[in-house]
Structure 1
Amino acid sequence: MSKLKAAVAAAAALTLVVVAGCSGDKSDGGTKGNAGNSSITVFNGSTGTIVENWNPFSPTLLQPTQGLIYETLYWFNFAKESDPTPMLGTAFSWDSAGKVLTITTRDGVKWSDGQPFSAKDVAFTFDLVKRTPAINASGLKLVSSVAKDDKTAVLTFAVPSFTAEAAVIANTPIVAEHVWSKIDDPAKSINPNPVGTGPYQLKTFSAQSYVMEKNPNYWQAGKPQIQNVRYVALATADAATAALTAGQVDWMSAFLPGLEQLLKNQKNLTYVNTPAMTTSIFTCAGAELGCEGPQTDPAVRQAIYYALNRDQLNKLAGGGFAETASPTLLLPERDKKWIADQANATTPGAPDVAKANQVLDAAGWVKGSDGIRAKGGEKLSMTIQTVTGWSDYISLNDAMKQELKEVGIEVKPTQLSWNEWNNNQVQGKFQLSLDSIGLGASTNPYFTYLKYTTVTTAKVGEAAQNSGNYSRYKNPRVDAAIAAATNTNDEAAQKAQYAIIQQEIVKDLPYIPIYVNSMLTEFSTANAVGWPTNENKYALPASWKSWDNGVVLSNLQPAK
């Protein structure tokens, strides 16, 4: 049986799983041109059992929580150069010192339970963040958060916070005071009955799939037009391919080998590529915070960096769609003005085996009879985790295993469900992990470099903040530089601080960049139209992208 025929057969099996998981929800969708009965299915990378969590502040939240259920004051489109788009906020302004931010909120907004939204909810949200360090993912130094009236919220910060602007207005989910004032622990609650202002609300949930339905109280007139959105978990890349080509999935973002050939004769299928995320080896680097293993040695991390054959990795795993990364973890082209030393603008394409060996020799790692190095009785052997079914990352691990063996480093790939993989990163219970970095609250490097700060991490076994410093990296110079960058609105002064950070992280490499991965997103027009295109990237189209996901779904219309 050919691979495609096998995939179609797998799709038939998937249908049974989806129907069983939704217990009758199939009647909610599939009717073209009928908004009241329209439905699409989304795969956002989830594999294995789905664990319920609608807490918009949690690092293990279900992704539609941010964008479909909860919204921010403003929204940034990373797919193109653009100004922030007003959402729950309509205006904002700083005082001259950058310590007081005044926000004007939108009229006529209701929560999904019908209660009115006001600036009091905004003030409550930021006060909740101030009182709960575990949900203060951006390390905001808030002094107070008050509502002057129903349309005006005033936030006061302890230090100038110009660089935190995007985190405040575009990356903080606004929650309802009448709901969250009754939640005992906002960091740990799974928020089983979410109430938001977004275009959708929770309809049904199971461990295999869940369904979001149109929020009848949504503030954007005439939106959304798609009544039901079903999210499913798939096991493998073959299952994803099967679901897409057999019409079982309408929207997904996944690397599919031979994508152009696969879609060649599929009249309803199309794709866009918006590379913006740097695929990297996350290392549990901080021995001081409880990390264990050879990867806590900076020399090992440096050797890995030099030993990788990135050109080969792109051919074998990236499908040729990947672009060159930077050891600064910025994007070489988009962020050129922020990269202080052009020698660090890009990663090497070819390996430097001699350099990798030199670094390890100098650090005392000696090759044994089996070709694997050791030091002080510890073998230079580490596990690297990725998600079951992520075929490009699985291929990366297999190829890197061979490349690193040449310099005496043993890497043991493991595949886990998304939930287990993510929880390991959040808790620091890993040695190496394959993931990607990028897409902070804005294109200012401040948001990328928060991932290197002590304030966004925690000891191993404790949860690091959402999208925080999973590496457990601790560097006082980096902490001081990010704090100094926060205190100024002067771009030249910020660049000087980012130069310090870049010098440190290029040396220490807690996150080891591989390449800027393709961001391939596939769509079907069988049940819905209005998807982003290469000509009209009105939102970053990835199905897993927080905030943008709500924008995309709000702009779809049922197919005629």
Structure 2
Amino acid sequence: MIATRGRRAMVTALVGACALATVTACSSDSGSSAGGSSVLTIQGDAGNPTLVENFNPLMSSNALHGVNLIYEPLEIVSPIDGSFTPFLATSHKFINSTTLTFTLRSGVKWSDGTPFTAQDVVFTFNLLKKFPALDGTGVWQHLSSISASGSTVTMKFSSPSVPAAAIVAAVPIVPQHIWSKIADPTKFTNTKPVGTGPFTLQSFAPTEYTLVKNPTYWQASKIAPTEVKFPAQASSQSANQLQVTSGAFDWAYNYLPDVQKTYVDRDPKQNTYWFPPGGTIGLYLNLTKSPYSNADFRKGISLALDRTTIAKKAVNGYLDQASMSGLILPNLQKWLDPSLPNKGLITQSVSAAMASFAQAGYTMKGGKLVGSDGKQVTMTISMPNNFSDWVAAATEVSTELKAVGIQVNLDEPQFAQYQTEIQSGSFDAAIGGFGGSGSPYTDFNNALNSQFAAPLKTATANNFERFKDPAVDSALNTLAGATDEAAQQKATYALEQAMYEQTPVVLLYYGGSWGLFSTKNFTGWPSASNPYTLPTNYNQSLLMVVTHLTKS
């Protein structure tokens, strides 16, 4: 599969479909104007094709995608450039590097008519503390306390944590007057959700659920759809693609090999797409093993690769090679160190690769790259067997590394085994995702912070390559506590230089977000000319998109 949701930018999600007749029938709206239907149909949740009813926003990994239209966060952080869009909060401000305040919006009501207050925010965050299983983003790894006074919520961090504003801002807020009565919210499926968002649950069936517009929503005038339908989706990639190309959805999220021919040309006046970079795909090398522990050897691998060809093989050329700065460009262009050659893009050079290998103590003999012991360098690259773009990338990497004398084998386990391998450090090399949060700090911290460099056979959630550098840790600490942009820029430049000079991960190409849209019923979709969010239809981008849509 290409770009499945389970990797979001390790990286993103494919979902399948119920019968075409059912979907198209569901999309009708007898009360709509001649300009098109007021019902928004979204390719949504995988169900094979039976859906499991769960609208618990604090257990997002199990909840249905539509929950993002029922519950709102304080602010939504752009996964493109890290900018904040206010929702339940109108603004936030750092008093110092450990104290953050949010000013809440007035006049907001829960969908049952109860006023929304600051106590709902305090209650929600304390709920995450009381039930750590709900704290999937690690809020209380940063927070030390939360309090409220009037419309101001104050959060105190245990250490300088300026980038953590993006984490706490994104927490969906739940109503205290309902959730305080729930004995165990980790098991609560919330089949009668009460939120502050633009939609409420109208009906649920195993094959489809429908949300209806919330008339008391604080910005109801901005909401064009009167209903949103999420048909159940199968797990078959081919079924997904057939449903999308048949025109069953206003908004789909699916990789199509030839999107112009298979989708746009079927209805060129109304079908459009946007495939922006949503993360970076890289070759992770196990830095606890020789020769990967040698930075010159890693540079040799980087220089030996033709990233443009790899991107063409992996994602049909929709996206191009990634910058070794570690930034997703042009999304994070403002943070790019101008001293990096060619924006951090690496041009393949076999001669330069061989020079770098020689610096590490490896030379070519008889068509084989050998070390001082005379043995050929061998590498096994691991990737999930159903991530077809990663498999294609690894196949091309294998071909190119064999050309410089490295014997490469491909290991294609099921995702669960692959995940165990990379988390425990039991791999030579692995294809994986890097970045995609919209925040340079978050992207670099996850990949490079030595605190994540757990011993081999001990699972870690990040820094799978086990990179360690005190200077990098220092730059991360500086960035975490910096409240002015000049200091943030300086620390970010240092991290980019570490990526470029030390090659802790060999970044290859940008992984796509596969947004497919019909303008038959609605316009205002995110696009290259209006990149207000990524076109992902399974997270808070849903809320961003529906507040931007207008009736066709």
Q: Which category of TM-score, normalised to the shorter sequence, fits these structures?
A: 0.7 to 0.9
Give the letter aligned to residue 105 of structure 2: R
**Distance (whole Å) between structure 1 residues aligned to residue 225 and residue 163 of structure 2:** 36
Aligned to 2:10: none
Counterparts in 2 of 1:525 and 1:337: CA distance versus 1, 3 Å: closer
CA shift for structure 1 position 312: 1.7
Aligned to 1:404: 401
> What SS does the corresponding residue of 1:446 show, helix, strand or coil?
helix
CA shift for structure 1 position 484: 1.6
Conservation of the 8 A alpha-carbon contact between 1:324 and 1:516: yes
> Is 1:277 the counterpart of 2:278 in the alignment?
yes
CA shift for structure 1 position 309: 0.6
CA shift for structure 1 position 310: 1.3
How is 1:3-82 mapped onto 2 (pairs within 5 angstroms)?
Answer: 18-19=18-19, 28-31=26-29, 34=32, 38=39, 40-42=41-43, 60=61, 64=65, 67-77=68-78
Aligned to 1:447: 442
> What SS does the corresponding residue of 2:242 show, helix, strand or coil?
helix
> What SS does the corresponding residue of 1:537 show, helix, strand or coil?
coil
> Is 1:546 the counterpart of 2:539 in the alignment?
yes
> What SS does the corresponding residue of 1:198 show, helix, strand or coil?
coil
Conservation of the 8 A alpha-carbon contact between 1:55 and 1:65: no
Conservation of the 8 A alpha-carbon contact between 1:384 and 1:434: no
CA shift for structure 1 position 138: 6.7
TM-score of the aligned structures, taking structure 1 as reference length: 0.74
1:388-416 deviation per Cα after TM superposition (whole angstroms, max 9, x unaligned): 3x654443233223222223141416375
> Is 1:86 the counterpart of 2:86 in the alignment?
yes
How is 1:469-508 mapped onto 2 (pairs within 5 angstroms)?
Answer: 469=463, 473-508=467-502
> Is 1:225 the counterpart of 2:216 in the alignment?
no
How is 1:429-448 mapped onto 2 (pairs within 5 angstroms)?
Answer: 431-435=429-433, 437-440=435-438, 442=439, 445-448=440-443
> What SS does the corresponding residue of 1:401 show, helix, strand or coil?
helix
**Distance (whole Å) between structure 1 residues aligned to residue 310 and residue 417 of structure 2:** 26
> What SS does the corresponding residue of 2:220 show, helix, strand or coil?
coil
Unaligned runs of 5+ residues in structure 2 are 1-13
Give the letter aligned to residue 447 of structure 1: T
**Distance (whole Å) between structure 1 residues aligned to residue 408 and residue 49 of structure 2:** 28
Counterparts in 2 of 1:348 and 1:490: CA distance versus 1, 3 Å: closer
Counterparts in 2 of 1:26 and 1:219: CA distance versus 1, 3 Å: farther
CA shift for structure 1 position 130: 6.0
**Distance (whole Å) between structure 2 residues aligned to residue 415 and residue 38 of structure 1:** 41
TM-score of the aligned structures, taking structure 2 as reference length: 0.75
CA shift for structure 1 position 245: 1.7
CA shift for structure 1 position 327: 1.1
**Distance (whole Å) between structure 2 residues aligned to residue 139 and residue 534 of structure 1:** 35
Aligned to 1:264: 265
**Distance (whole Å) between structure 2 residues aligned to residue 161 and residue 15 of structure 1:** 36
Conservation of the 8 A alpha-carbon contact between 1:40 and 1:226: no
Aligned to 1:8: none
CA shift for structure 1 position 137: 3.7
Aligned to 2:310: 313
Aligned to 1:3: none
**Distance (whole Å) between structure 2 residues aligned to residue 344 and residue 114 of structure 1:** 58
Give the letter aligned to residue 107 of structure 1: S
1:454-473 deviation per Cα after TM superposition (whole angstroms, max 9, x unaligned): 56787766573xxx655554
Counterparts in 2 of 1:495 and 1:61: CA distance versus 1, 3 Å: farther
Counterparts in 2 of 1:348 and 1:154: CA distance versus 1, 3 Å: closer
Give the letter aligned to residue 171 of structure 2: T
Aligned to 1:5: none
How is 1:288-307 mapped onto 2 (pairs within 5 angstroms)?
Answer: 301-307=298-304
**Distance (whole Å) between structure 1 residues aligned to residue 287 and residue 52 of structure 2:** 29
CA shift for structure 1 position 266: 1.8
> What SS does the corresponding residue of 1:346 show, helix, strand or coil?
helix
**Distance (whole Å) between structure 1 residues aligned to residue 540 and residue 433 of structure 2:** 20
Counterparts in 2 of 1:427 and 1:549: CA distance versus 1, 3 Å: farther
Conservation of the 8 A alpha-carbon contact between 1:329 and 1:513: yes
> What SS does the corresponding residue of 1:432 show, helix, strand or coil?
strand
**Distance (whole Å) between structure 1 residues aligned to residue 353 and residue 347 of structure 2:** 12
Counterparts in 2 of 1:76 and 1:368: CA distance versus 1, 3 Å: same
Aligned to 1:172: 171
**Distance (whole Å) between structure 2 residues aligned to residue 30 and residue 517 of structure 1:** 35
How is 1:1-400 mapped onto 2 (pairs within 5 angstroms)?
Answer: 18-19=18-19, 28-31=26-29, 34=32, 38=39, 40-42=41-43, 60=61, 64=65, 67-77=68-78, 84-95=84-95, 97-111=96-110, 116-128=115-127, 132=132, 135-137=136-138, 141-149=142-150, 151-169=151-169, 171-177=170-176, 189=186, 191-193=188-190, 195=193, 196-200=195-199, 204=204, 211=209, 213-214=211-212, 216=214, 218-222=217-221, 223=223, 225-230=225-230, 232-233=232-233, 235=235, 238-262=238-262, 263-267=264-268, 269-273=270-274, 275-281=276-282, 283=284, 285=286, 287=288, 301-333=298-330, 335-340=332-337, 342-343=339-340, 346-348=343-345, 350-360=347-357, 363=360, 380-386=378-384, 388=386, 392-400=389-397
Conservation of the 8 A alpha-carbon contact between 2:47 and 2:234: yes
CA shift for structure 1 position 525: 3.7
CA shift for structure 1 position 119: 0.9
> What SS does the corresponding residue of 2:412 show, helix, strand or coil?
strand
**Distance (whole Å) between structure 1 residues aligned to residue 295 and residue 453 of structure 2:** 19
CA shift for structure 1 position 204: 4.2
Unaligned runs of 5+ residues in structure 1 are 1-13
Deviates more, 1:189-198 or 1:139-148: 189-198
Count of aligned positions: 523
**Distance (whole Å) between structure 2 residues aligned to residue 32 and residue 300 of structure 1:** 65
1:173-201 deviation per Cα after TM superposition (whole angstroms, max 9, x unaligned): 33444566677888xx4653274433346
Conservation of the 8 A alpha-carbon contact between 2:308 and 2:320: no
1:226-252 deviation per Cα after TM superposition (whole angstroms, max 9, x unaligned): 423315545565444322221234322
CA shift for structure 1 position 122: 1.7
Deviates more, 1:306-315 or 1:225-234: 225-234
**Distance (whole Å) between structure 2 residues aligned to residue 502 and residue 264 of structure 1:** 41
Conservation of the 8 A alpha-carbon contact between 1:214 and 1:224: no
Conservation of the 8 A alpha-carbon contact between 1:531 and 1:555: yes
Conservation of the 8 A alpha-carbon contact between 1:29 and 1:228: no
> What SS does the corresponding residue of 2:154 show, helix, strand or coil?
strand
Counterparts in 2 of 1:294 and 1:190: CA distance versus 1, 3 Å: farther
CA shift for structure 1 position 529: 1.2
**Distance (whole Å) between structure 2 residues aligned to residue 306 and residue 44 of structure 1:** 41
Counterparts in 2 of 1:254 and 1:427: CA distance versus 1, 3 Å: farther
Counterparts in 2 of 1:300 and 1:67: CA distance versus 1, 3 Å: farther
Deviates more, 1:303-312 or 1:190-199: 190-199
Counterparts in 2 of 1:436 and 1:239: CA distance versus 1, 3 Å: farther
Alignment RMSD: 4.7
